[in-house]
């Protein structure tokens, strides 16, 4: 009986096929049939489990990444899930923002970029070195601005960085934005958007606007000179900037002081109006320069991240000289008289950390 099937007559004379494991008289399945069913079931279960494992791997998930997600850590790798702990540093040019971002990026769990919106600003609001910058975002909305910000937040963690240790999990991400890169233009509407998205704000302020002027003008004059570095990392580079004689035209100096003080006040008023003074963190450059670890601990506490010792590779530029020494000797008396006769007279006094006065 070589066939697995046989024929048996129905009561009406017709015939039907009978499976070898089916008893022709009782109509019940034999034990051999049940063994086959069990084997098929076990094979199906094994295939299902294998498919689940494959699906997890294909989607980029594993036991390791799952435990990282539950702990709030996200690996620096393409395809990482969104990092929810986001922040921005708001400031002005030549206020120590590069120094601060380098300290932030030195934390093992923080990825901090620099002026990531610079190109977007050029494309939508003019050249940052142009007086019209920040005043002509024609056709751009807060929604457009926020979309670009989110793209940056997603891009930064997967880019190479010299700060955070390689392979360390990034739990916080942010970058710096200058006042004239959309902050003052979009104002309250932008802050509402940041608030809705839970993005924390660090406001970096340089009190001494006169030294800010010296830093800005010396940097502009030194551009194109061999060895120039706007953000020096060696004493030689810093000394080169320190040796530049800045423009002593009184109208230019006073105009700069008024504009920068006005921008700082405008940004502070907007922040206070929306968040309240306690709803964001203000850091003064002079305090950061005097004791950077103390101020960084304040920032780490605000960001709710572990406090660690961080360092920056950047070298301080303006030190060891009185402010008057940056101006040509023939301009000093006139500049001093103009400042003393203005609301900025206090900038001539040695009342700021690390400042020798006029």
- Are residue 24 and residue 167 in the same domain, yes or no? no
* Pick from 179, 244, 202, 228: nearest CA to 99: 202
Q: What is the pLDDT of residues 88-117, one digit of tens each?
A: 999 999 999 999 999 999 999 999 999 999
Range name among 32-41, 66-75, 206-215, 290-299 with the lowest pLDDT average: 66-75
Evaluate whether residue 181 is within a structural domain.
yes
- Are residue 34 and residue 89 in the same domain, yes or no? no
Q: Check residue 91 and give its pLDDT.
A: 98
What CATH number is associated with residue 286?
Answer: 3.40.50
- Are residue 89 and residue 211 in the same domain, yes or no? yes
Q: Check residue 45 and give its pLDDT.
A: 52
Evaluate whether residue 207 is within a structural domain.
yes
- Are residue 38 and residue 89 in the same domain, yes or no? no
39 or 351: which leads in pLDDT: 351
Evaluate whether residue 76 is within a structural domain.
no
The answer to whether 186 touches 88, Cβ cutoff 8 Å, is: no
Instruction: Please give the average per-residue pLDDT across 73-93, as a whole number.
Output: 72
- Are residue 111 and residue 37 in the same domain, yes or no? no
Q: How many domains does the chain have?
A: 2
pLDDT bracket for residue 43 (50, 70, 90): low
Enter the pTM of the model: 0.75
Edge-to-edge, what's the strand order for the sheet holding 85-91?
110-112, 172-178, 85-91, 200-205, 281-284
- Are residue 168 and residue 288 in the same domain, yes or no? yes
Evaluate whether residue 126 is within a structural domain.
yes
- Are residue 24 and residue 97 in the same domain, yes or no? no
DSSP bridge partners of 41: none
Evaluate whether residue 78 is within a structural domain.
no
Evaluate whether residue 74 is within a structural domain.
no
Evaluate whether residue 191 is within a structural domain.
yes
- Are residue 38 and residue 174 in the same domain, yes or no? no
Strand intervals (E) in the chain: 5-9, 15-19, 85-91, 110-112, 172-178, 200-205, 281-284
Q: What is the pLDDT of residues 254-307, one digit of tens each?
A: 999 999 999 999 999 999 999 999 999 999 999 999 999 999 999 999 999 999
- Are residue 223 and residue 312 in the same domain, yes or no? yes
pLDDT bracket for residue 167 (50, 70, 90): low
64 or 142: which leads in pLDDT: 142
- Are residue 127 and residue 45 in the same domain, yes or no? no
Q: Which domain holds residue 198?
A: 83-317
Sign, Cα dihedral of 273, 90, 256, 335? positive
Evaluate whether residue 329 is within a structural domain.
no
DSSP 217-281: HHHHHHTTSTT--SS-SSHHHHHHHHTPPBP--HHHHHHHHHHHHHHHHHHHHHHHHHH-TTSSE
- Are residue 154 and residue 226 in the same domain, yes or no? yes
């Amino acid at each position: 009986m070589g066939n697995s099937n046989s024929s048996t007559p129905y009561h009406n004379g017709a015939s039907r096929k009978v499976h070898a494991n089916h008893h022709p008289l009782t109509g019940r399945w034999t034990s051999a049939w049940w063994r086959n069913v069990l084997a098929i079931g076990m094979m199906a279960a094994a295939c299902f489990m294998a498919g689940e494992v494959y699906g997890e791997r294909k989607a980029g998930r594993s036991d390791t990444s799952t435990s990282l997600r539950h702990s709030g850590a996200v690996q620096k790798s393409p395809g990482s899930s969104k990092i929810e702990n986001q922040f921005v540093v708001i400031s002005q040019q030549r206020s120590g923002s590069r120094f601060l971002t380098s300290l932030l990026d030195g934390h093992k769990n923080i990825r901090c970029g620099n002026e990531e919106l610079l190109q977007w600003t050029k494309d939508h609001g003019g050249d940052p070195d142009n007086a019209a910058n920040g005043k002509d975002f024609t056709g751009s909305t807060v929604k457009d601005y926020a979309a670009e910000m989110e793209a940056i937040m997603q891009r930064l963690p997967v880019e190479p960085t010299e700060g955070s240790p390689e392979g360390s999990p990034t739990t916080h991400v942010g970058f710096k934005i200058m006042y004239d890169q959309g902050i003052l233009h979009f104002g309250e509407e932008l802050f509402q958007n940041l608030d809705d998205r839970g993005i924390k704000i660090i406001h970096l302020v340089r009190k001494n606007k006169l030294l800010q002027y010296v830093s800005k003008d010396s940097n502009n004059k030194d551009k194109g000179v061999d060895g120039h570095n706007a953000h020096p990392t060696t004493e030689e580079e810093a000394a080169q900037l320190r040796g530049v004689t800045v423009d002593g035209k009184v109208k230019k100096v006073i105009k700069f002081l008024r504009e920068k003080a006005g921008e700082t006040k405008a940004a502070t008023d907007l922040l206070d109006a929306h968040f309240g003074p306690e709803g964001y963190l203000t850091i003064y450059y002079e305090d950061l320069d005097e004791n950077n670890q103390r101020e960084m601990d304040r920032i780490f506490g605000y960001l709710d991240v572990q406090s660690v010792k961080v360092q920056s590779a950047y070298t301080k530029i303006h030190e060891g000289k009185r402010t008057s020494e940056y101006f040509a000797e023939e301009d000093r008396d006139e500049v001093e008289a103009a400042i003393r006769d203005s609301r900025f007279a206090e900038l001539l006094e040695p009342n700021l950390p690390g400042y020798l006065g006029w």
